[in-house]
Amino acid sequence: MRIKSFLLSLLFSGSIFAQSIENPMLWADVPDPDVIRVGDTFYLVSTTMHLMPGAPVMQSKDLKNWETVGYVFDRLTDSPKYDLQEGTVYGRGQWATSLKYHDGKFWALLAPNEAGSMGDTYIFTAPKAEGPWTIHSRLRHFHDATLFFDEDGTPYVFFGTGEMCQLTRDLKGVVEGSLRHYFQREADERGLLEGTRVIKHNGTYYALLISHVYAPGRHRREVCYRTKDLNGTWEKNTVLESDFGGFGYLAQGTIVDTEEGDWYGIMFQDRGGVGRVLTLSPVRWLDGWPMLGDEYNKVPEVMRPYKSGQPATAIVKSDDFSGENLGLHWQWNHNPIDNAWSLTERPGFLRLKTNRVVPNLYLAPNTLTQRMEGPMCTGAISIDISKMKDGDCAGFAAFNGDSGVLTIRKNGKKITLDMSEQSVQLTEREKAVKEVKETVVETVELAPKTKTVYLRIDGDFQHGHNDAATFAYSLDGTTWTAIGTKGYRMIFDYRRFFMGSKFAIFNYATKKAGGYVDVDAFNYTKITPTHE
């Protein structure tokens, strides 16, 4: 009993627990993952839709510590909608990128979730995961597709619900007559089977997909189809059907091997306001099937680390803006306007300049974002507002289709800070902003000569805590005052943004362009409650 108590005390005091991989592996919005290994390094890509740069590439040596090392593209330019002109691409843009390493090069395939030529598939290539990435070809739209190279180098695309085709050897076209369905979904799988990922192991091809089922007693699950002949019959099995952490059933992702020949599964789970988080599971090969989960076929809460001694890294970070380039942990909302922001005009500060008049936050260019994280997190900015012009709005938001927003407003000589709840309505086709409903919950008048304001947002994504955001401000960076809604509920809405809430720093003009703010720092802390 003493030994058991000692081990438990070590586990929960952090001596062992800190070295373990706790699920979710990434408690942040990292949907539609594809993961590969090259040598001793794992590489992961995810969906970030309307955020730029897009298709983030993350790396890890131990499947615990991840960091962003590059992006497949800086911006998309098929339409002015990517520039918040003539509509938007909220919830669209880059989806479900597939990552592969073949013939000494990295390859990425993605298809924006758009109609017409905007939705044509991109194939990119790069000499290393960090880039530079270049466009290799454009093809017809392939929904939620994966690129696959067979052992003889023949390229294929698997996509949609059980569709596949062969590509030409130069990856610039589809082989005529190769398009076909390799399976048909079951009667109770009325939703799409999507998010295809394909691997080959011991001479067998495996296609993993998320299956949405609606029959009584059935749940969202990960299914696998296998065959030894791509033109033959495919067998089917369910390889994961597990709830986890009180948040429902999870699926969609892939499996990857280690140098030693062990296998792991990476699947995402919908967790409300924080978005879709990544879980890590062991893979047990049973009767030739890659079964995910522990011995009870469940996603484990804690796993032993694959590799110990690796430095701690993160995909969300503090920033003092002292670098020459913007950190890879940041993404802009839609394409940025490059001459309207600077790290050099005032070294050590991020300058955000207004350059066109817009009516609301959802059309504001150069809004800078980072993910929020669970179980709890806090982000704070220090902002110099002395160069704002009449009609300017600057601040900090828990940004989504429904947003909790801290806004500093300049109206003539009057300066106010308010906390508001804002909700955007978008047209179905163009995703144009139809209306922004804004409810100002609390307003504080600031002294006319106020120069620096500190703004803070705390997020709580623990189960049962309603994805709550709280807001505060300070005039000295030490004493904080709560403002506005206590426990603002952040939501996930697939009809609009289709992503988790983000920290967002913004500055926009409603009357006349030309003002600017200087952001001195973004201070971030991920908080894990202590175990009792």
What is the mean predicted confidence (pLDDT) over 260-266? 97
What is the mean predicted confidence (pLDDT) over 496-520? 98
Question: What pLDDT was estimated at residue 13?
Answer: 38
341 within 8 A of 350, measured Cβ to Cβ: yes
Question: What pLDDT was estimated at residue 476?
Answer: 96
Note the Cα 92 to chain centre separation in Å.
13
Question: What pLDDT was estimated at residue 228?
Answer: 98
For residue 530, the 8-state DSSP code is: P
Question: What pLDDT was estimated at residue 218?
Answer: 83
Share of residues in the chain with pLDDT > 70 (%): 96
**Structure confidence at residue 187 as a pLDDT band (50, 70, 90):** confident
For residue 327, the 8-state DSSP code is: -
101 within 8 A of 92, measured Cβ to Cβ: no
**pLDDT tens profile 74-110:** 999 999 999 999 999 999 999 999 999 999 999 999 9
Indicate the pTM of the whole model: 0.95
Helix locations, 345-425, DSSP H: none
Q: Is the peptide bond before 53 cis (omega within 30 degrees of 0)?
A: yes
Pick the CATH number of 21-303 from 3.60.20.10, 3.40.640.10, 2.115.10.20, 3.40.50.300: 2.115.10.20
Question: In 3D, which of 47, 43, 50, 44 has the Cα closest to residue 32?
Answer: 47
3-state secondary structure of 174: strand
What is the tally of helices (H) and strands (E) in the chain?
Answer: 1, 40
**pLDDT tens profile 330-340:** 999 999 999 99
What is the mean predicted confidence (pLDDT) over 125-153? 98
Question: What pLDDT was estimated at residue 529?
Answer: 85
Question: What pLDDT was estimated at residue 216?
Answer: 81
Tokens of 484: 């506005």
What are the two backbone dihedrals, phi and then psi, of residue 117, each rounded to the nearest 5 degrees? -65, -25
Tokens of 509: 């003009």
Question: In 3D, which of 372, 373, 367 has the Cα closest to residue 393?
Answer: 367
d(CA 301, CA 340): 45
Question: What pLDDT was estimated at residue 2?
Answer: 35
431's CB contacts (< 8 A; 6+ apart) are 81, 87, 88, 89, 90, 91, 92
**Structure confidence at residue 18 as a pLDDT band (50, 70, 90):** low
Residue range 331-527 forms a domain whose CATH class is: mainly beta
* Burial of 9 from C-beta contacts in 10 A (0-12 / 13-18 / 19+): exposed
The DSSP secondary structure of 237-297, one letter per residue, reads EEEE-EE-TTS-EE--EEEEE-TTS-EEEEEEEE-GGG-EEEEEEEEEEETTEEEESSTTS
What is the mean predicted confidence (pLDDT) over 258-265? 97
Tokens of 88: 């938007």
* Average pLDDT along the chain: 94
Buried b (16+ CB within 10 A) or exposed e, 266-275: bbbbbbbbbb
Domain with CATH 2.115.10.20 in the chain: 21-303
Domain with CATH 2.60.120.200 in the chain: 331-527
What are the two backbone dihedrals, phi and then psi, of residue 200, each rounded to the nearest 5 degrees? -125, 130
Strand partners, 317: none
493 within 8 A of 510, measured Cβ to Cβ: no
Q: Residue for token digits 């790396």?
A: 59
For residue 117, the 8-state DSSP code is: G
Note the Cα 465 to chain centre separation in Å.
22
**pLDDT tens profile 425-478:** 999 989 999 999 999 999 999 999 999 999 999 999 999 999 999 999 999 999
